[in-house]
Amino acid sequence: MKRFLTWSGIIITALILQSTFFAVFAYNGIKPDLLLIIVISSALLYGKDHGVVTGFFAGLLQDLSTGTFFGVNTFSKMLLGYGFGIAEEHVFKENALLPVVAILMGSFVNTLMTMIFMLLLGHKVELSNAIISVLCPVLIYNLIMAFPIYKLVNKIGTWLKA
């Protein structure tokens, strides 16, 4: 129960911070995706089961709190949680580059999946404009937040195991 309440609190806190505090620093409406960083970090540190569950709940809360296409965040975060969770057994978790590279890859894939969903739903997406106005800011914001959040998720996980 302690684990469930702690991770739920982390996800809700990250959603609130992402929607309020980090909205102040948004560039063209783009802000860091704290929930994505938490999902990828927890998947890399604790495996695919934890990544999928964290991804599902984080994505669902994000879908419920935003006016975007319902299910896109749930699906993409759950899929990324699973993918990075599989990698958990094959990576050196103390490597300082791991969270940075993983978050960059995950942010790229998440943005790409969102654009593909938009195209499938009939929205026009200009690739060059999307790369400059969406992908680059997302990568920069998430890159800045990657290492501190990864370390925080690791410390919380260690605390929960104690």
d(CA 35, CA 10): 9
Query: Which pLDDT tens digit goes with each residue over 48-93?
Result: 999 999 999 999 999 999 877 788 999 999 999 999 999 888 887 7
User: Is residue 104 a contact partner of residue 139, using CB atoms and an 8 Å limit?
Assistant: yes
Question: What is the total count of domains within the chain?
Answer: 1
- What pLDDT score was predicted for residue 139? 92
CATH number at residue 10: 1.10.1760
d(CA 85, CA 41): 9
Domain interval for residue 78: 2-161
**Other CB atoms within 10 A of residue 148 CB:** 11
Q: What is the pTM of this model?
A: 0.92
